[in-house]
Amino acid sequence: MRKVIAAVLILAFLCLESQEGSALLLDRACGRSYSGTRTNRLANPWMVSLIVNGEVKCRGSLIKSRFVLTAAHCVFTDEMHVHFGTTFSPDRRNPGEYCRLDPNCVRVDKKIVHSEFNNQTQQNDIAILRMQHAVQYSDIVRPICLLINGTGPAVDRFHITDWGTTEARYRIIERIDRQNCSSKFNRQVDESQICVRSNACLGDSGSPMSARTLHMGRYRTFQLGFIIYGLNSCAGLNVYTNVTYYMDWILNVLDNWSA
C-alpha cells in the first residue's frame, strides 16, 4: 500500500512538474526538428515564406498552429499566403492563382499589426498573421518556441537561417551594444530591438533569430527576434525586433483572435 501511494505521489509530482514546464511554452510541440544538418529543410520547420501576388515578400515563423509571427512592414493589403517548406515556385500554368492550388500554402485570413507601428522609425515593427485554418504539424511544419513567462535563454550568440534562392544558409550572429546600431542608422534602437553584428548578408525581413537550449530535459529552439532592417553590405549591423519584449502583446493577440 505504501509503495502504491509513493508511486502515485511520484507520478503526480512528475505530472505537475512537466505541466509546469510546458505551461511556460506557447506551444508544447515547439522547437524540435528531425534533422541532423542545419541547412536541411527539415531543420527549420517553423520558418515560412510570405507570398503576395506570387512573390516571396518576407519570411515569418510559425508560433502556434494557426499563427505566424513577422514584421509589421511585411504586411500587405493584398491577399497573403503562408508557404511552408523552403522553395516556393509560382504556378506558371495558373497565373493569378499563385498559392491557391499549392498544398504547402495556407491563406491568411486576419492580419494584426501593432497599433503603434511607425513606418518611418520602424518602432514596434511586429505583426501576427492568422491562417484560414490551423495546420497539422509534421516533419516540415512545426512551431518555434516562445516562452510565455520568462526572458528566454540568456545568450549573446544566436542562429539565423536564411533561405537563398537555391539553399538554406545557417549563420551565427552576435548581439552588440544597441548604441552601435543607433548611431549607425541614426534612429532610436531601444530595448524593444536587438542590435546584431553579422558577417553575412542581410536575410529577408521576418526571418527568425533563435537559440537552441535545453528546456525540461529536451533541446528546443527558441525564437528571440526577427530581422527588420540593416545594412545590405553583407558585413555589418542589423536590427531585430526583440520578441521577448512583445510577449504580452503576442499573448493578447492570440487571446483575441484564436476563436
Give residues in contact with ligand NAG (CB under 6 A).
Answer: 119, 149, 151, 175-177, 180, 191, 194, 197, 242, 244-245
| C-alpha dihedral sign at 100, 80, 230, 128 | negative
Nearest-angstrom CA–CA distance, 83 and 226: 18
Nearest-angstrom CA–CA distance, 48 and 82: 6
Nearer to ligand NAG among residue 33 and residue 242 (C-beta): 242
Cβ(169)–Cβ(160) below 8 Å:
no
**Residue 175 cell numbers, joined:** 548581439
For the chain, give the number of residues: 259
The minimum distance between CB 129 and ligand NAG, in angstroms, equals 14
**Residue 79 cell numbers, joined:** 491577399
Cβ(27)–Cβ(215) below 8 Å:
no
The minimum distance between CB 58 and ligand NAG, in angstroms, equals 13
Nearer to ligand NAG among residue 40 and residue 180 (C-beta): 180
Nearer to ligand NAG among residue 167 and residue 177 (C-beta): 177
The minimum distance between CB 36 and ligand NAG, in angstroms, equals 30
The minimum distance between CB 176 and ligand NAG, in angstroms, equals 4
Nearer to ligand NAG among residue 89 and residue 119 (C-beta): 119
What are the start-end ranges of the H helices in 52-168?
A: none
The minimum distance between CB 165 and ligand NAG, in angstroms, equals 24
Nearer to ligand NAG among residue 51 and residue 181 (C-beta): 181
Q: For residue 230, list its beta bridge partners.
A: 238
Nearer to ligand NAG among residue 38 and residue 111 (C-beta): 111
Nearest-angstrom CA–CA distance, 99 and 67: 18
Nearer to ligand NAG among residue 103 and residue 191 (C-beta): 191
**Residue 73 cell numbers, joined:** 512592414
The minimum distance between CB 219 and ligand NAG, in angstroms, equals 22
CB-based burial label for 15 (10 Å; 0-12, 13-18, 19+):
exposed
Would you call 142 helix, strand, or coil by DSSP?
coil
The minimum distance between CB 50 and ligand NAG, in angstroms, equals 14
Name the DSSP letter for residue 119. T
Nearest-angstrom CA–CA distance, 67 and 46: 11
Q: For residue 175, list its beta bridge partners.
A: 196
